[in-house]
């Protein structure tokens, strides 16, 4: 059996450091298995979150070799063999201890979004193709990796002004539900800060559910907001989207 060195962040808000652990590698092993082995053998108090071990609950988010990923979905044989494996907590949220961060802000944001509101006469007869898009958004497991990677939150820490990609996806799932009757565009524009997203697509790249966050959720929402509130801004949008001077994607 071969072994690998894991460098795991240990510490709390007062400070900390990466600590080295030797891990016995088994076939097919994922990073979360290694963390559990460390807990059993070396550090029973190593703090981490997990539940399903199957990429279904979104609890085990961390930064593995600097990249936001689910620990239960990251195989060791997919990481460079000649290097140690670096495991750190998500950077965009306040640290609690070791790999556990305080993600309560996300729950606060969710509460601000008015829930699904069907009309009194809604039939709920919906064809599959009319709900495909909404179902894509509803696959979200709330791992918050997209929130972690988005520079608006990560570098600029604009949490009070921006819902972040996860909750833009949430708004999109409501706005595009065939039976919903509310209009959340003003909220999106003001509190949601949808304009702060400059479509870097980093969120889409890290999403373990492969939701097309930017293309399918954020861009259509931006278009709706622009259409409703500031038509002239469509020019800027077009530039950002690289669709040229005239016409193009923003046209309905």
Partner 1 sequence: MNDKYETHEHDVIIIGAGGAGLRAAIECSASGLKTALICKSLLGKAHTVMAEGGIAAALANVDSQDGWQTHFQDTIFGGKYLNNWRMAELHAREAPERVRELERWGAVFDRTPEGKILQRAFGGHTYKRLAHVGDRTGLELIRTLQDKGIHQGIDVYMECTITRLLKDGERVCGAFGYWRETGRFVVFKAKAVVLATGGLGRCYKITSNSWEGTGDGHALGFEAGAELLDMEFVQFHPTGMVWPPGVQGLLVTEAVRGEGGMLRNNKGERFMEKYDPKRMELSTRDVVARAIYTEVKEGRGSPHGGCFLDISHRGAEYVKKKLPSMYHQFKELADVDITREPMEVGPTCHYAMGGLKVAAETGATRVPGLFAAGECTGGMNGANRLGGNSLSDLVVFGRRAGLGAAEYAKTASAPKVDAAAIESAAGEMTGFFGRSGAEDPYKLHLDLQNTMQSLVGIFREEKDLTAAITKLEEFKQRAQNVGVVEGQRMFNPGWHLCRDLHNMLICAEAIARAALRRQESRGAHSRLDFPQYDNYWGEHNLLVTKDGRQMKVEACPVVKTAELQPLVDDKKAKEKK
Q: Which residues bind ligand FES (CB under 6 A)?
A: 50-53, 55-60, 70, 72
Q: Which residue, 46 or 194, has its beta carbon nearer to partner 1?
A: 46
Q: Which is nearer to ligand FES, 7 or 56 (CB)?
A: 56
94 binds partner 1 (CB under 8 A): no
Which tokens is 200 given? 């870097």
Residues pairing with 20 in the sheet: 7
Applying CB under 8 A, which of residues 44, 160, 232, 242 lies at the interface with partner 1? 44
Asked if 141 interacts with ligand SF4 (CB under 6 A), we say yes
For ligand SF4, the closer CB: 159 or 166: 166
241, 33, 62, 50: which is closest to 145 by C-alpha? 62
Contact residue for ligand SF4 among 10, 91, 201, 234 (CB under 6 A): 201
Bridge partner residues of 5 (DSSP):
22
Identify residues 57-76 at the interface with partner 1 (CB under 8 A). Answer: 57-59, 73, 75
**β pairing state of 61-64 and 67-70:** antiparallel
| Kind and range of the H or E run holding 90 | none
How many residues does this entry show for the chain? Answer: 252
Give the span between the Cα atoms of 188 and 222, in whole angstroms: 9
In whole angstroms, the minimum distance from the beta carbon of 30 to ligand FES comes to 9
| β-bridge mates for residue 19, sequence order | 8
Minimum CB–partner distance for residue 87 and ligand FES (Å): 13
The interface with ligand SF4 within residues 52-71 (CB under 6 A) comprises 58
Query: Chain-centre distance of CA 67, in angstroms?
Result: 13
Task: List the one residue from 8, 95, 113, 145 that touches ligand SF4 (CB under 6 A).
Answer: 145
């Amino acid at each position: 059996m071969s072994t690998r060195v894991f460098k795991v962040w240990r510490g709390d808000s007062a400070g900390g450091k990466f600590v080295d652990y030797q891990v016995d590698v088994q076939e097919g092993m994922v990073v979360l298995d290694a963390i559990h082995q460390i807990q059993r053998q070396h550090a029973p108090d190593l703090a981490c979150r997990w539940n399903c071990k199957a990429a279904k609950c979104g609890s085990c988010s961390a930064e593995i070799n600097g990249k936001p990923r689910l620990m239960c979905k990251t195989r060791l044989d997919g990481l460079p063999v000649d290097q140690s494996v670096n495991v750190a907590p998500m950077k965009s949220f306040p640290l609690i201890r070791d790999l556990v961060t305080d993600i309560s802000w996300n729950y606060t944001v969710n509460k601000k979004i008015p829930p699904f509101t069907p009309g009194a006469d809604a039939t709920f007869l919906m064809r599959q193709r009319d709900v495909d898009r909404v179902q894509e958004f509803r696959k979200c497991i709330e791992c918050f990796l997209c929130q972690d990677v988005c520079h608006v939150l990560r570098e600029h820490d604009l949490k009070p002004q921006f819902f972040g990609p996860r909750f833009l996806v949430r708004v999109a799932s409501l706005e595009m539900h065939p039976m919903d009757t509310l209009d959340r565009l003003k909220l999106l524009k003001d509190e949601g800060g949808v304009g702060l997203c400059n479509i870097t697509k980093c969120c889409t790249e890290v999403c373990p559910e492969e939701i097309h966050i930017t293309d399918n959720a954020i861009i259509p929402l931006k278009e709706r907001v622009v259409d409703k509130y500031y038509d002239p801004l469509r020019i800027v949008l077009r530039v950002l989207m690289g669709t040229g001077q005239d016409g193009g994607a923003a046209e309905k």
